[in-house]
A and B are shown apart, each in its own frame.
Chain A
Amino acid sequence: METSFGDMKVSMGDCDLHATDVDLVDRVTGGDREAFAFLLSKYRDYVAGIVARHIPTEDVAETVHNVFVRAYLSLGKFRASGEFRHWLASIAVRTCYDYWRERYRRREIPMASLTEGHREWIETILSEQSTEGYSESPYQEEGLELLNWALGMLSPEDRMVLELVYLQENSIREAAALLGWSTANVKIRSFRARRKLQSLLSREINRGGKK
């Protein structure tokens, strides 16, 4: 018997079509590695969505791969009392954090300064009353470059907290659970990271004004 998840067909064997995540986890930890394919098919787009918000597009597929391998190796720690989706989301966020830590360690973060186009983008945004339409083309590219530049100037910790709390609007508690940090740590980091972003952008505008 075969069933299909998205574009993939998976052999069902004696697997129940309505098997829950907990059943599948039990099967994998019981020695049936193929049952992991069901979890993979079910959650790959969900995990890819989380990873894509933190990682450059060219590295998303590899990072999602790492997330699932990490999840597979940690399946023994999964508790049936919790929700598998949340547990997986937490692994995805921590894998993204490790990705940035590794890149910072290898000093692979581009530190090029902003162009005149980016400064104009900031000035236009600040002078406009409404924010409507600025998330769309043709402003999108400059905006994304500016965002990536600003995030690249922060530490991996500040970067993750800023993305989770400030950009994705997770609560402090949610961000703390995803990162496995204390709520106090996330709160302090969030405040400091926002201040850093503010001073970074101010400095760049002033630099542009002096030229």
Chain B
Amino acid sequence: MKISRRDLEKMKIIFSLLSRARKPPNLDHAWQEKVMNHVRVLETPAMEKGFEEQFRRIAWHLIPSACLVILLLALALTTVDFFPEYEMARQFIEEPTGYLVTKILGV
């Protein structure tokens, strides 16, 4: 014999009522004091910081490194004389074949 869906539904109603009828025990003052005694020996829970606040805290540590990188890049730009458009134009005028081969081959 197999229990049909209808039978299972009928049993479900009764099981559901029985499940809801379970009464919790009375938790008295002694129980509450026991929990509080446990809590008193635990460390205070620290408030977890949000992402924004965590980022703000980390960002301060990154500022010296960021300044150093900016300084080095500025220094590199002033010392290295590199203007891509000017270099390309010069190459095209002086050596057009070489320029075209470079452009086609993608070297």
Contact = CB atoms under 8 A, between A and B. Distances in A.
Interface of A: 7-8, 28-29, 31, 33-34, 36-37, 40-41, 44-45, 48-49, 51-53, 57, 60-61, 64-65, 68-69, 72-77, 122, 125-126, 131, 134-135, 140, 143-144, 147, 163, 166-169, 194, 197-198, 201-202, 205-206, 209
A49 B42 CA distance: 26
Contact of A65 (B1, B15, B21, B38): B38
B19 A60 contact: no
B95 interface: no
B42 A73 contact: yes
Interface residues of B, number: 39
Contacts, number: 125
B-side binding surface: helix, strand, loop or mixed?
Answer: helix
Contacts of A134: 14, 17
A202 B3 contact: yes
A185 to B, nearest CB: 21
Given A29-B44, A40-B32, A197-B8, 12 more contacts: A7-B29, A29-B47, A33-B40, A45-B27, A68-B35, A74-B45, A76-B47, A126-B10, A135-B18, A144-B18, A202-B3, A206-B1
B36 A36 contact: yes
B48 to A, nearest CB: 4
